[in-house]
Amino acid sequence: MVTLRFPKRSRVVKSLLGYLMIGLVKLLGLVPLSAAQKVGTGIGNMLWKRRTRSREVARVNLALCYPDMGEAERETFIHETLKENGKIAAELGPMWSYDPEKTYGLIRNVYGEDILDAAIADKRGLILLAPHLGNWEIINNYISKKCPITIMYRPAKSTSFNKWMVTRREHVGCKLVPTTRAGVKSLFDALNNGEMIGFLPDQEPREKSGVWAPFMGVETLTPKLPHEMLQKTGAQAIYGFAKRLPDALGFDLYFLSVDDDLYDADPRVCATSMNRGIETCIGYCREQYQWTYKRFKRRPDGENNPYKEAGVP
């Protein structure tokens, strides 16, 4: 049997879906933060009521990371994290459409600002390790008021949406580079020039780009790139995240110091330190972490993919 392929139609469909997403995000950018977050809560409730991929991925992740948690508590946790994940999706409207000053006004408190300011003043180059926790978009707005920042991002599948997304993220003053060889070079160049870069440290890399290190008690393929950048440029690093406050009150920002092991010459020691730092960040608002991401898909030799074992697509 011959399989027919329609590449042109596929591109058209992706483009149309991209414009639809742009329209939805723009629409959410016309409403107050409270309304956007209510939409996000509704998205989370929908994901909870059905056997969705997000719900089942979160169930697998929490079973691995909190093995001693009771079933009732875990189910409540899953429901809450789906609502928080729904909020980050709906908050793209305010984050990408509000005037930058209005977005900046959503920041209530900044903890560890002295840590951030001292690191910026050091001029050795700075890596901001920002895990998928709370609302990471608003950090761009805050940092850009202090200094230039170059951020690596994973391009969206829709070209139209990707182009618009980059434009909106850069309108606050940051520079975006894709997860390509050229993008990595841009990160090294920025650090060698004494500038700041932003890096999401909790995405699963390809095996050749990662090292196995414990995260939440689970051996996890962890990016080696932060270690390589620290070793080759002599840069420093801190952690940063934005905690969502209840009742649409806004966000609190946190900046935390790293421990000395992050600068160790051994990539596993560095990765273990980085994962430990991410765990510390998660402890501030654990339901707001992106538990819907397949963080443990790749396994060490001999171990099965836990998502496939659970029948998660």
pLDDT digits (tens, 9 = 90+) for 151-186: 998 888 888 889 999 998 888 888 999 989 999 999
Contacts of 261 by beta carbon, 8 Å cutoff, 6+ apart:
269, 270, 272, 273
pLDDT digits (tens, 9 = 90+) for 60-82: 999 999 999 999 999 999 999 99
Q: What is the pLDDT of residue 235?
A: 98
Contacts of 211 by beta carbon, 8 Å cutoff, 6+ apart:
221, 222, 224, 227, 267, 268, 271
Top-confidence range, 5-14, 90-99, 235-244, 299-308: 235-244
Mean pLDDT, rounded, for 34-56: 97
Task: Report percent pLDDT > 90 for the chain.
Answer: 85
Residue with tokens 């409540």: 76
Question: How high is the mean pLDDT of the chain?
Answer: 93
Q: What is the pLDDT of residue 16?
A: 84
CA distance 305 to 300: 10
Q: What is the pLDDT of residue 2?
A: 37
- pLDDT band at residue 1 under the 50/70/90 scheme: very low
pTM value? 0.93
Structure tokens belonging to residue 90:
């709906």
| CA-closest candidate to residue 78, choices 40, 49, 48, 52 | 48
Q: What is the pLDDT of residue 62?
A: 98
Question: Buried (b) or exposed (e) across 193-203, using 16+ Cβ within 10 A?
Answer: eebbbbbbbbb
pLDDT digits (tens, 9 = 90+) for 184-230: 999 999 999 999 999 999 999 999 999 999 999 999 999 999 999 99
pLDDT digits (tens, 9 = 90+) for 3-43: 333 345 577 777 788 889 999 999 999 999 999 999 999 99
Q: What is the pLDDT of residue 7?
A: 45
Mean pLDDT, rounded, for 36-57: 97
Mean pLDDT, rounded, for 51-63: 97
CA distance 86 to 88: 6
